[in-house]
Amino acid sequence: MRTVKCAELNLLRSSPSLEAVLQWAERRHKVDRMFVTLYTDRVQGKWKARYPKAEKSTARLFSPFILRVFLARSWPPSDYLRHPHIVCVMRYSPEVRNIMLRTEPKFTGWSNPDGLPEDICLFNARIKLPAFCSAIHDNEGWLIDAQGIEGDFFDTWEATPAAIKRQMQVHNGYAFCRAWPSQRHIAVNGLREFVKAKSAVPPKR
């Protein structure tokens, strides 16, 4: 049975850097999609971004590339059960990579409290596993099919694709996410035009 090498990163360590991971994902996986997240609070029945500056930065930096914005309760590698947060899916390209590195060259700076989106996930829309996913607030990241990249890894292991999907909360829905059942109560400002389905779960990618 085929297994896939995975590598866990402590994002506080300097190697591999954000730049190295982005370039590896382009080279190894031909990634063409990325998503980032905005954590929410419920205000007057609406799910709003907890950090408005992070929402504004997401719109300012990535609006030309964003495909869809929606509420999700789970995405690689996180599951929030009864509390949805905002996921922003976009086209990924070297242009997006350069924007990211100019804005903040370190993983740990990509956090909502610091005014930026977080939980960077990179993937190829035609491949059934992401290339990289992260939980920035825990300073953790994971490389999937981690061939051709060196770094100060926290851990490495091999597992079947099915086991990786279970362990890493990789779902079969749009952008590997488990969408919140109702999209009616999402409240965004600069990202409003990308909320295309008010009541339906986003279609598969």
Residue 111 lies in a domain: yes
Residue 115 lies in a domain: yes
- Average per-residue pLDDT for the chain: 93
User: Given this model, what pLDDT does residue 53 score?
Assistant: 97
Give φ, ψ of 78 to 5 degrees.
Answer: -115, 150
With cut-offs at 50, 70 and 90, classify the pLDDT of residue 192.
confident
Number of domains in the chain: 1
Order across the sheet with 46-49: list the strands.
Answer: 40-43, 46-49, 186-187
| pLDDT over 50 (residue 123) | yes
Residue 141 lies in a domain: yes
Residue 110 lies in a domain: yes
Give φ, ψ of 73 to 5 degrees.
Answer: -95, -15
Domain that holds residue 137: 4-194
| pLDDT over 80 (residue 89) | yes
Residue 79 lies in a domain: yes
Residue 98 lies in a domain: yes
Task: Report how far apart, in Å, the C-alpha atoms of 203 and of each of 4, 33, 166, 176, 200 are.
Answer: 28, 15, 21, 11, 8
Give the pLDDT confidence of 34-66 residue by residue, as tens digits: 999 999 999 999 999 999 999 999 999 999 999
User: Given this model, what pLDDT does residue 81 score?
Assistant: 82
| pLDDT over 80 (residue 106) | yes
User: Given this model, what pLDDT does residue 14 score?
Assistant: 86
Residue 199 lies in a domain: no
Strand locations in 11-154, DSSP E?
33-38, 40-43, 46-49, 66-75, 78-79, 85-91, 118-123, 132-135, 140-144
With cut-offs at 50, 70 and 90, classify the pLDDT of residue 200.
very low
Residue 26 lies in a domain: yes
